[in-house]
Amino acid sequence: MEIAQVGEAILRQIAKPIVEKDIRSAEFKAFVEQLLNTMLAANGVGIAAPQVFDERAVMIIASRPSPRYPNAPDMEPLVLINPKVIQSADDTVKDWEGCLSVPGLRGFIRRATWVEIEYHQQDGQVTSRRLEGFVARIFLHEFDHLIGKTWLDHVEVNTDIMAESVWRKQIAGIDES
């Protein structure tokens, strides 16, 4: 699947909810599998359907250590269909984010320290859970893609943007020489 790049109109659109009967369709299941494979191939820790030119409200979060996020916690991929934010922390923290749709850059972005969410699982059941720390950050980043935003919309000052190569050396401490 091709990944939409910043400037593509799809990244500014609000995703459309998926009706329950379509959640269980073979076509949707195949799409979710392709979405996951696209994210894994790109070393992402999350991806949303608009990032692959699809307007449906589905995203995957899958924190794991990778070349892009060497210190990420490990979790099984989580498919979130029609996700909603129920509540989020008043406390926020700034940390560096990258995006498959904004290649070559990192942003120092303020996000809530935890978020309580509701979503449909792949079997159509509605569930809720609380996400914390880096996993909450991934959720909020991917949720932005479902509401027509990217991390660029959260930049407080221009000095909070850094080239990926500089971030890897200065912040992540990765020497690639």
Tell me the pLDDT tens digit for each residue of 146-162: 999 999 999 999 999 99
- The full DSSP string for 121-156 is -TTS-EEEEEEEHHHHHHHHHHHHHHBT--GGGG-S
Q: How many whole angstroms separate alpha carbon 123 and alpha carbon 121?
A: 5
Whether 2 maps to a domain, the answer reads no
Tell whether 120 is in a known binding site: no
Task: Tell me how many degrees the CA angle 70-73-75 measures, rounded to the nearest 5.
Answer: 125
Q: How many whole angstroms separate alpha carbon 116 and alpha carbon 141?
A: 14
Look at residues 116, 120, 106, 119 and name the one whose alpha carbon lies nearest to residue 150: 106
Whether 1 maps to a domain, the answer reads no
**CATH code of residue 17:** 3.90.45.10
177 falls in which pLDDT band (50, 70, 90)?
low
Instruction: Kindly state the tokens that stand for 46.
Output: 């999350």
Backbone angles phi, psi at 35, to 5 degrees: -60, -45
pLDDT for residue 171: 83
Whether 13 maps to a domain, the answer reads yes
Whether 3 maps to a domain, the answer reads no
Instruction: Kindly state the tokens that stand for 117.
Output: 């969410």
Residue 109 has pLDDT above 90, yes or no: yes
Tell whether 141 is in a known binding site: yes
How far the first Cα of the chain sits from its last, in Å, is 31
Whole-number percent of the chain with pLDDT over 70: 99
Give 8 or 171, the one with higher predicted confidence.
Answer: 8
pLDDT for residue 69: 81
Whether 16 maps to a domain, the answer reads yes
Give how many domains the chain has, as a whole number.
1
Whether 68 maps to a domain, the answer reads yes
The catalytic residue positions are 142
Domain encompassing residue 92: 9-170
pLDDT (tens digit per residue) in 47-101:
999 999 999 999 999 998 877 788 889 999 999 999 999 999 999 999 999 999 9
Whether 177 maps to a domain, the answer reads no
